[in-house]
């Protein structure tokens, strides 16, 4: 004798529960779908004419001249690297701030003799001091002078 599987056989007694990963999966599906849709639409709707002018290099409306592989002053690269280092380090402030606020509140309330707020603040002060030493070193070496 065969029996049909009903919805009550599949659904757990507590009902359907959305996984905590559901928003992440939804975001990935939307992002991948958006990328694929844009590429497909550009192929379908975009112009298909080609030619010598269409395939040439575009340099902000100017005719390109000279060699693209000329040497640049290393100072440009150093400034770019310093910018990236400080930019990435600033990203660390966001998780620190989310941890610091409850820890500072617990320290202010004096719960269980907690001094985590002070320790976290000192750690960030040391982090900023190290960044400032690197900044002052680069400034002393003349990295930021453009003449």
Domain ranges of the chain: 19-140
The CATH architecture annotation of domain 19-140 reads Up-down Bundle (1.20)
Across-strand partners of 62? 59
**Structure-token pair, residue 78:** 């150093």
**Structure-token pair, residue 84:** 């990236």
pLDDT tens-digit readout, 34-75:
999 999 999 999 877 778 877 777 767 777 677 777 777 777
Query: Is residue 94 pLDDT above 60, yes or no?
Result: yes
Alpha carbon separation from 44 to 2, 56, 106, 107, 135 (Å, rounded)? 51, 23, 59, 61, 51
CA distance 36 to 100: 41
Mean pLDDT, all residues of the chain: 80
Which pTM was predicted?
0.48
**Structure-token pair, residue 28:** 């990935």
């Amino acid at each position: 004798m065969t029996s049909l599987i009903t919805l009550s056989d599949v659904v757990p007694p507590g009902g359907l529960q959305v996984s905590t990963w559901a928003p992440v999966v939804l975001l990935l599906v939307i992002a991948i779908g958006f990328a694929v849709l844009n590429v497909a639409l550009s192929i379908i709707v975009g112009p298909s004419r080609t030619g010598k002018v269409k395939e040439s290099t575009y340099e902000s409306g100017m005719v390109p001249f000279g060699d693209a592989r000329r040497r640049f002053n290393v100072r440009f690269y150093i400034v770019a690297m310093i910018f990236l280092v400080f930019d990435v380090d600033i990203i660390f402030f966001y998780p620190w701030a989310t941890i610091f606020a409850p820890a500072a509140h617990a320290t202010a309330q004096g719960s269980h003799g907690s001094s985590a707020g002070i320790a976290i603040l000192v750690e960030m002060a040391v982090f900023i001091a190290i960044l400032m030493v690197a900044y002052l070193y680069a400034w002393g070496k003349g990295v930021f002078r453009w003449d």
